Structure 1
Amino acid sequence: MSDAIPGYDRPAVEAWLAAHCPELSGPFDWVRLPGGHSNLTWRLTDSTGRQAVIRRPPLGELLPKAHDMGREFRVLSALKDTPVPTPRPLAFCEDPSVTGAHFYVMDFLDGHPLYTVQDVKDWAPEAKRRDLAFAFIDALAQLHALDPAAVGLGDLGKPEGYVERQINAWGRSWSASVGPAGFDDPRAHEVEAFLRARLPGQVPARVVHG
């Protein structure tokens, strides 16, 4: 593969990995992974055949706090010794001079993201869907059962008023799109009112998925 890896200075990154990630041994084969919510995500295969994943924000100007690699790495680090199934974090680079942005490396877990109908047919046939659904629910239950303070994430966010803030954000997003789209739907406002009338009371903080 060519040294040209969008978003990565390949020689600089591989030199950084040699100094900071002893679990891996260069040189590396790089393969782009699809998805990743626009983050530049690649599978690395080292000289011994071990695989890992490297991840950095997309190119261009970003909104504050968007695509926070440090936050992702911190959450993975907090979850690695819990029952929640997550890849093991390996190394985090907070020096943007290496490749223009923060990035981190984690273990590669073999799996099959479901992007298309054909992906679902190939990797989640009907006979397996019940088991997959329950496994997904079990993982979410394990995540929600964690006390953020107990795993070192007590200061990660603002647990009070979380649901109300989400409804506020959804409402602002819808209202902001009405003018440019030239379209509004009263049902969206009915749903917002329905949710506001049923806000839950304050509950103990938990780690939740985003």
Structure 2
Amino acid sequence: MNLDLAIWALAALSTLAIFSILYRENPVYRLFEHIFIGLATGYGISILWTQVLLPNWWTPMAGDGKWPWIFALVVGLMFYTIYTPRYAWMSRLLMATLMGMSAGIFFQGFARLYIPQLAASFLPLVQPEPPYVLFRNLVIVVTIVTVMTYFFFSFEHRSKVVRGSASLGRWLLMIAFGAIFGSTVMARMALLTYRIWYLLQGRPEIGT
């Protein structure tokens, strides 16, 4: 049995073992689930070391003589003080610092990503544009206004106009969620189709 055939057989066995959950919970699925999680964890650790820690921390410290990088190890080890009640405040201090930094970075990314989108949502409705462009702009503006009305809870929706707008916004949300769910299902079906093709057509020729 050549190497390609052995690899295909192992991959096919793994695929069938994972798909066996569709029948019911069984020890074979559990075994291959744990194997997959273990492999993924090991692969993640190797990527963390080879692509993050080695070039950005170990090489500058050990190879280039930038010894102050040793303090990064000390700071990282301080996270484990959470297991000691006496020194747990160190880990909380680091977590609070990281959460603050992450919040600032996230807000910066949010502003750069979504503020231009918000500005782009103010579309012209009366300018001399082709009819399909005006219709598209109208759909976008109506969707934004009605969905925002649906999520506006500062006062009760007593007016018929407000209730109608909120109801339309809810329907538009359902349409959008349905489209997102449909695209997700199609992506999963594409993965399933590939695995079925791999089982039926991907087998290499038997050699010596």
Q: Say whether the fold is shared (TM-score over 0.5).
A: no
Could you say which structure has the larger radius of gyration? 2
Question: Which structure has more helix as a fraction of its residues?
Answer: 2
TM-score band (shorter)?
A: under 0.3
- Greater strand fraction, Structure 1 or Structure 2: 1
Q: Higher relative contact order by CA 8 Å / sep ≥ 6: 1 or 2?
A: 2
Superposition TM-score, scaled by structure 1 size: 0.21
TM-score of the two chains, using structure 2 as the length reference: 0.21
